[in-house]
Every structure is written in C-alpha cells, then in structure tokens.
Amino acid sequence: MPEYLQPIGKVTHEGLDVSEFQGKIDWNRVRSDGKTAVYIRSSLGNDYIDARFEENYAGAKAAGLIVGFYHYVTAENTAQAREQARFFVDVIKGKSFEMRPAMDFEYFDDLSSNQINAIGKAFLDELVSYGGKEAVVYTDDYDAKTLWEPEITENYPLWIAQWDVAYPSYTDRWSGWVGWQYTDGGTVSGISTGSTDLDRFTDGILVSDSSAISGTPAKQPTVGCKLIRVTVRSGDTLWGISRRYGTTVNSIVKLNGIVNPDLIYVGQKLYVCDNVKSGAEREDYYTVRRGDTLWDIANKFSTSVKRLAGINKIRNPDLIYPGQVIKLGFSD
C-alpha cells in the first residue's frame, strides 16, 4: 500500500480558504505573499450568506487570484441537502469562478454513515444538476479513509484536510487529491486575525467552464447579523437562545437545518445570528423580587432550576429572598 495519497494533476496554486472570521483582508498583500488561489465561504445552511462574501470575492478577483466557493452543509436529510445545494447555487449566481464549488460537510450530529452519504450525494448531485458546474468534496483525512462511499468518492474529487504532515495519508477510497489543506495555522500577509487555513491545489480542481452561473444573485444577508457558534447548555431552549442573542427561533432552525425545534441537546453546537448591538451588555443577572420563585426566574429566562441552583450554589432551591442577585450564566 502506498504511504501517501498522490495529487491528481499538476500542483499549480498555493492558496488559502477564508470566511467572515478572517475579518477584513488586504487581498493585494495576500497576492504579494505568493498566494494565487482562494476558496471563499459563500454560505451556510438554508439561508445564511457569509457576511464578507461579496467583499472577499471582489477583493480576491481584483488582486488577480483564482476563486472558488464553498458551502457549509447543515442538512439532516436529503430534502434539506437539495434545498441547501440550490441555495448555494443561487448565492454564487452571477459570479465568475475558476475552481469547483465545494461541499463542506463535517458536522454530522448523530447521523449514521448511510444517512451522511445519502445527504452528501443529494447535495452534490443537486449542486451539479442545478448549477451546471463540476463539484468537489472537502473532508478531513479520517473521513476520507473511513466514511465516504463509492457513490461519492468515484464521482467527485477530493479536497483533503490533513495538517502538519509531509503529504496526505493514503486512502484507497479516492484515487488522489486535487486540493490539500495542509495547515490551519498559517500566517498570510494581509490577514491580521491570526491563523489561516493554507492549501495547495492542482489543475484537477478547476472547472471546465469558468463563466458565471446565469441568473440573479441571491439577496444579501440581514444587515447587522454577526454569525457565532453557540454550545447548548443544560436548560437551554431555542427560544431562550434566540432571546439571548436577539434573533429568532426560525433563524436558528434554518441556519442549522433543525428538523424538530423542541429537540436540542447539551453540547450541541449551533450557528446563531448575534444581533446584540456592539457595546451592549447581555442580561446576565437578575435581582429577586418579592413573590419570585427560582422556578419563575428559570421560566422567565428559558433555563432550568437545576442550572440556576448550580451556578449560584443554592442548596435549597425553594429558599430565595428579595434583593438576592441571581447569576443567569449566559456570558460564561
């Protein structure tokens, strides 16, 4: 068995991949640093457009980089997968790009291997059918070796993520790689927010036709929406989380492809639009009033008596008093 997975085609571009989390980028400096290709996150879930998508696209193009787009998939079934693929295509309509649109499907919740492959195939097939362009799969080395089945590996090339190694590890599921994300800790001139994903791309990742997908570009994201990742804690509900961040349950449901809004679990990571104005303080303390019970307070802030008692070291949940300050724990 070969020790390394070989590139398919000639390695032609040193590149990177970015999203809104890299902040404002000086693309001319990126180009001067030797980077010639970039994958830009365009979208996520059912309706979220990356807040810096248009800015990054325009800047990268003006600086002379070749461009590709990726979509972060949150689907939990094949119907959602097809819907997200169509949304992805609608977002990038009207844009010219040289690299294959990429599926970034890496957070699987409790889906089975069969479900993951079905969702991935539905997304990719719909992406190609609806958009009319070739697609590529972004995945890490472990999933490249163990997860993806021939219906995907034999039809869509591999953009593999494996960091700090000499070459990507061998897998017999793919014949080679067309993209390799070799570190998540790179430093690039023009990007000041810290570590950046760096990549190498072969000519096998290029689309055969780099003209724009015809159609009208999708609407822009809601002004003021800052996307963050929130970990569900004991006692949380979607209503409580939406209230905490000034958004709506429906927005959280769409961003994360949630089937049952009443079913979330501790430790689950959710994308949320944080609409609390800069400089504003989140409500994190409550002063007990006459007649309050801990149950009343927990219900008011969509949390649990057990959680409030634990945070505040209350031994007897039935014993609180007016003027007592209760920490809600939202900013922990």
- 43-77 confidence digits (pLDDT tens): 999 989 999 999 999 999 999 999 999 999 999 99
Q: How far apart are CA 318 and CA 96, in angstroms?
A: 63
Q: What is the pLDDT of residue 88?
A: 96
Residue recorded with tokens 């409500």: 283
Q: What is the pLDDT of residue 8?
A: 96
Q: How far apart are CA 143 and CA 151, in angstroms?
A: 15
Q: How far apart are CA 57 and CA 65, in angstroms?
A: 10
Comparing CA positions, the residue from 121, 41, 123 lying closest to residue 74 is 123
pTM for the model stands at 0.71
Can you give the length of the chain in residues?
332
Q: Is 18 exposed, middle or buried (0-12, 13-18, 19+ CB in 10 A)?
A: buried
Q: What is the pLDDT of residue 223?
A: 46
Comparing CA positions, the residue from 314, 325, 312, 321 lying closest to residue 291 is 321
Give the residue ranges of the chain where pLDDT is below 50: 218-223, 278-281, 332
Comparing CA positions, the residue from 294, 295, 292 lying closest to residue 322 is 292
Residues marked as catalytic: 17, 106
Count Cβ atoms below 10 Å from residue 321 Cβ, excluding itself: 8
Q: What is the pLDDT of residue 197?
A: 96
Q: What is the pLDDT of residue 331?
A: 55
Q: Is 207 exposed, middle or buried (0-12, 13-18, 19+ CB in 10 A)?
A: middle
Q: What is the pLDDT of residue 222?
A: 47
Q: What is the pLDDT of residue 281?
A: 44
Amino acid at 185: G
Q: Is the CA virtual torsion 154, 160, 162, 168 positive or negative?
A: positive
Q: How far apart are CA 63 and CA 310, in angstroms?
A: 54
Q: What is the pLDDT of residue 272?
A: 86
Q: How far apart are CA 100 and CA 127, in angstroms?
A: 11
Q: What share of the chain is helix, strand, coil (3-state, %, to 5)?
A: 30, 25, 50
Q: Which 8-state DSSP code applies to residue 313?
A: T
